[in-house]
Amino acid sequence: MRITFATAPGTESRPNEDFVLATTQAALVLDGAGGPPELGSGCIHGTPWYVETLGVRVMDLLITRRGIPLTDALAEGVSQVAALHVDTCDLLNPGTPSATAVLIREHEQRLDYLVLSDAVLVLDGPDGIRHLADRRIDEIGPEIRERMNKFRPGTPEHQAERLQLVAEQHRPRNRPGGHWVAATMPEAAYQALAASLPLRDLGRMALLSDGAARYVDFALGGWVDLMAVLTKQGPEGLIAQVRQAEDGDADGVRFPVQSVTTTLPPCWQRSEISRLVRHARRGFSRLSEVRIFCKYIYLLVQESDHQFVNFFRIRPLR
């Protein structure tokens, strides 16, 4: 079997704040969230360093300690990374670098998975296609969000409300009754959605950031439709449809925009994976795509000016 991996950077002026890593038995996607620069982060390293370091640490645990629960691997990874910069950075800062996470791992004929925060895992199993995500962050600040969406994206009024919304989201982060992300507290890993399923019952699956899941949020289609787009058109097709929806709503009236984030949709079949192939491609083929990206870059809640598409597609080797 072969896995192909492609990225589509939105701009080369800033580093990627998302991270993807895979082996023959496991894969992970971290969607970095540093917060608007106006609010500060207290970290001298930045979100790219955080997600890359956390991703490598977690994958190292999955490789060297076969069978370790995914929650334990993520928790230990968070602890290890926190120890690396506790002496140089303010880890108590509400805007300290953080990430949502999706992990999958094949182990003893089962598929273990973990979903933290608003990242999305889509599974194609015996009961059809279903998705898993924790959207508690969407319940925070509805009044602020409503006010923000009354203003045109890019205006000072919209930006002011956006900053207030992010500050409001920071307050209950990684607290009981709030929402949970990977940041500095290992306890957050145990708030994730985590379980194990028989591998024989699974066909395709997709690991998505909240950005890719906007296909459903925009009512462009359901989860079955989303999987069909990935299967037939690949991640470029999915992103193109989301961007087309945004292009037809330049003022953010029908589809209010908060952030543009990384997406990793893999299609994973139940056969064992024997070969990993990575392939990166530029994602913008039309000037209109660049224009739409630039229009929304100012609105990124996660202090990222990239739109990345990371795609695993598995095909039999011929």
pLDDT at 296: 34
Question: What average pLDDT score do residues 78-96 get?
Answer: 96
Least confident of 76-80, 169-173, 289-293: 289-293
Q: How many residues does the chain have?
A: 318
How far is Cα 136 from Cα 143, in angstroms, rounded to an integer?
15
Tens-digit pLDDT profile for residues 63-78: 999 999 999 999 999 9
Q: How many CB atoms lie within 10 A of CB 136?
A: 15
Q: State how beta strands 110-116 and 98-107 pair.
A: antiparallel
Lowest mean pLDDT among 127-131, 152-156, 169-173, 192-196: 152-156
What is the topology classification, in CATH, of domain 2-315? Phosphatase 2c; domain 1 (3.60.40)
Separation between Cα atoms, residue 143 and residue 147, nearest integer Å: 6
Q: Where are the domains of the chain?
A: 2-315
pLDDT at 262: 34
d(CA 134, CA 120): 8
DSSP state of 299: T
Q: Which residue has the tokens 């009961």?
A: 127
Residue with tokens 């079997």: 1
Phi, psi for residue 52 in degrees, rounded to 5: -65, -45
pLDDT in tens, 258-272: 333 333 334 433 332
Regarding predicted confidence, which is higher, 149 or 292? Answer: 149
pLDDT of res. 33: 85
More confident site: 142 or 224: 224
pLDDT, tens digit (0-9, with 9 covering 90-100), for 190-233: 999 999 999 998 988 888 888 788 899 889 999 999 999 988 98
pLDDT tens string 298-313: 333 233 333 333 333 3
Q: Which residue has the higher pLDDT, 120 or 257?
A: 120
Percentage of residues in the chain having pLDDT higher than 90: 43
Q: pTM of the prediction?
A: 0.75
